[in-house]
Structure 1
């Protein structure tokens, strides 16, 4: 991933927010309507927690109508700065074992960064790198000033053709590589899973 990409470049500026006293069932309905994987719990403008779709589902399945959001929310960690390099934010999310991070700018909440945002940024970065490398091709068709046009291929890469995999993404349902994914119910899925 390009280290020049910042959290601000990849984050979602719109996120779903609720207060601590809101019922979990209402928060779950809002999460479903908005297609969100989590909800930010706010006290005024200050983030005080996060509720995952899994935690909300547990309350809804137990049929507990009056449970407040504060009973199931987790700490709002990690919190990352909007100008932080995306790779650093990704490492922090990984070390906290969470699929999201709250994004602040001068201490004020400005967005939400999810694993999906990071995947999308990596995909876009790969496409930009390919476009840049194609622009760098010389008149004889060779790239990067290699007069013989000897670029890494399947034979020199241990049998793996890097071009085959660079334009593919991972289906969130079955985990297979696919050239095209569609957004179905908030998940990026391949054509096989879309038809199920």
Structure 2
């Protein structure tokens, strides 16, 4: 996969959705349990905001009062089209404070989300070894050329815990290590 791939190819189709009237601590616990950075705040099927882990923490620390998701959410929903290139999502994430973008189809219906981790994973796993832009990048922990170092060629990153492992398997649409599959 390359930066010229579309957002549809890297997005997460299963996303966490919450309501404006949900308790902010319950929503924060849901984010933690699901291992995600943010949730789409929905009014029916329409996204009306984003709730991110940082927003929950900021709300609790600043206000002290535990209230609703509507009080802690960001009411601007950053959207990207599913057929746009990955570089568009990367530019949007870098230029905003958001870590999650809502992905929409041609009818503007929500079909998933794309996160910073999705983009990093897509670019890192899809890097073309013949690509001239990667010549000066030193591989982590090896100190050798990635073309000659076979020790790490079969490893990937667990989508739940972030561990580097060679024991990844697809489970509920995610690539998970053996520890995360057992949970």
TM-score (structure 1 length as normaliser): 0.65
Q: Deviations over 1:6-25 (max 9, x none)?
A: 00011111111111011101
User: How far did 1:4 drift?
Assistant: 2.8
Shift of 1:58: 3.4
Q: Which runs of 4+ in 1 moved over 2 A?
A: 1-4, 57-65, 160-168, 179-184, 186-191
Aligned pairs, how many?
151
User: Against the structure 1 CA distance between its residues 187 and 22, is the aligned structure 2 distance closer, same or farther, given a 3 Å change threshold?
Assistant: same
State the partner residue of 1:72: 72
Q: Which residue of 1 aligns with 2:91?
A: 91
1:47 aligns with 2:21: no
Contact 1:25 1:59 in 2 (8 A): no
Q: Give how far 1:57 is off.
A: 2.3
1:66-94 CA distance string (max 9 Å, x none): x0111110034320000000111211222
Is there any run of 5+ residues in structure 2 with no aligned partner, and where? 143-151, 166-183
Question: Which residue of the partner structure matches residue 113 of structure 1?
Answer: 114
Q: CA RMSD in A?
A: 3.2
Q: Alpha carbons of 1:83 and 1:114: their partners in 2 closer, same or farther (altered >3 Å)?
A: same
3-state DSSP class of the match of 1:188?
coil
Contact map agreement 2:12 2:113 (CA 8 A) in 1: yes
Q: Name the residue aligned to 1:122.
A: 123
Structure 1: unaligned runs, 5 residues or longer? 134-151, 153-159, 169-178, 192-196
Q: Which has the larger radius of gyration?
A: 1
TM-score w.r.t. length of structure 2: 0.69
Distance 1:57 1:108 in 2: 29
